[in-house]
Structure 1
């Protein structure tokens, strides 16, 4: 069951759509559920809502998965390059993306201090850190990575698929120096073998993911990197990982 509702993002003084998945028996039970906060909510559940016509088919997967969740998907800003700005916690420049003025730190602060309390008060969640995760792909994967590092007291699990760390790798690495990770932290990272045309860039991104795994494990957290054979930078590839993501984060 997907519900859509408008929420006010205080630091940006604007409304945005939430795409919220509730378990099938939500209305007929009193059970409380773990929560995953995810980016690009419009691309998660229904092809009709997805930017390029294909979603992760996450609702179909969850309806047959034997562990129920609430998923809170935050739709991105579709105006110009505002998605890049709002989904980057850092300001950086690259030849490919140009100059990105990062506002993701403000967005994440809002998610932790306003959105999560709102969701916990409105829905039957398990609000504890151990029952709260964060996830996304591409720039959303970068935000999930930032979230698990910068707000490790809030999130215990992160799904970081095809994370766009190439423009701010040093800044992400500096986050590891600022935080103390709980040993129950679990992070899923992935990259597809056909995401980039040039093999040299592919090798760099794969090495970046392996480096991040090493940084997490060096701090007694758990992390895994999956190289997706023939995987591309799109919702089809990310949706194919639904089971792997949820199994690793919530069952291992």
Structure 2
């Protein structure tokens, strides 16, 4: 009976693991379950390879946050996904973007806000402001922060552990000009922070529906101002970097326009032009994977276009 139980348990655990591997309509997924790190908690990593992937070629790499939401809507709580495989495949097949692979980095679940909130801007706030932000909630009672902010360690995981792993296991172009990072909402914030903190690593960032408020209110909120100050001091050179921003106009995205306008002014002051910076407004677009899927081709073309 004990042997039968162990066999059934093993089969059950295998089914759970397999259920977490996203299904794709184009290309293939190489899934790494609970990749360990000395900087952050272990997490799943999905590497999407386009059809015809070959070790005899070299590929640009796009790192994307919230990896569980990228490919397969059936494994998502809201049954929505970016459908990155479908959008990227269409652009590759029409020869509009350079050969690339996509690395989907799963978030830290309860620690997502702590990992994605830019750390240096947060540390520039007063202690009282920091304490107040740590008390922020989603809805009436659900805490936003399950831990202290640790986005510097999250970026160390990507740059010092994940990127070397990807470069050693796949046929990649390892230079800055072919290394990109992207995400939405808090994932947009951490993508902005990544290209500012590691300008020698990332040549481009796509920040969709960037959550400039950091929490879920705009009034009496010191967070956007500290992000603006950080950008003034840390934006990378426009000579060898490209940055994409966008926002919708309904649901949570309705908060973003005035802050994105401030960011746009800073971009202009720092010498960014149409050649290396794009901000788009999408009227009627809400804060969801479905909306990001509909416009994903725009940042992909901007960053990876031939």
Q: Same fold (TM over 0.5)?
A: yes
- Whether the aligned pair in 2 keeps the contact of 1:88 and 1:105 (CA below 8 Å) is no
CA distance in 2, matches of 1:141, 1:180: 15
State which drifts further: 69-78 or 231-240: 69-78
Structure 2 counterpart of 1:193:
249
Aligned length: 243
Contact 2:232 2:266 in 1 (8 A): no
1:34 to 51, 60, 63: 60
Deviation at 1:211, TM superposition (A): 1.7
How far apart are the structure 2 equivalents of 1:191 and 1:8?
Answer: 34
Task: Name the structure with the higher strand share.
Answer: 1
Partner of 1:23: 50
Q: Deviations over 1:69-120 (max 9, x none)?
A: 1111101122xx3111122223551755466431111101221111111111
Structure 1 residue 8 corresponds to structure 2 residue 36: yes
2:272 aligned with 1:217: no
Return the offset for 1:149. 1.2
Deviations 1:23-64 (A, max 9, x none): 21114x511000111100110111123332110111011122
1:46 aligns with 2:72: yes
Deviation at 1:180, TM superposition (A): 5.8
Give, in whole Å, the separation in 1 of the partners of 2:137 and 2:257: 18
Q: Cα 1:160–1:118, aligned 2, differ >3 Å: closer, same or farther?
A: same
Q: Write the distance in 2 (CA, Å) between the matches of 1:225 and 1:238.
A: 14
Higher helix share: 2
Give the stretch that moved more between structures: 236-245 or 42-51. Answer: 42-51
Q: Name the structure 2 match of 1:248.
A: 302
Aligned to 2:5: none
Runs of at least 5 residues in structure 1 that lack an aligned partner in the other structure:
none
**TM-aligned CA deviation for residue 220 of structure 1:** 2.2
Are 1:184 and 2:234 matched, yes or no?
A: no
Is 181-190 or 213-222 further displaced after alignment?
213-222
SS at match of 2:73: coil
Is the 2:113–2:144 contact (alpha carbons within 8 Å) kept by the matching residues of 1?
no
Q: Say if 1:41 and 1:75, in contact at 8 Å, map to a contact too.
A: yes
Aligned residue number for residue 100 of structure 2: 69
8 Å Cα contact 2:137-2:144 kept in structure 1: no
C-alpha contact 2:39 2:156 (8 A) present in aligned 1: no
Q: Pick from 284, 296, 299 the counterpart of residue 230 of structure 1.
A: 284
SS in 2 for 1:163: coil
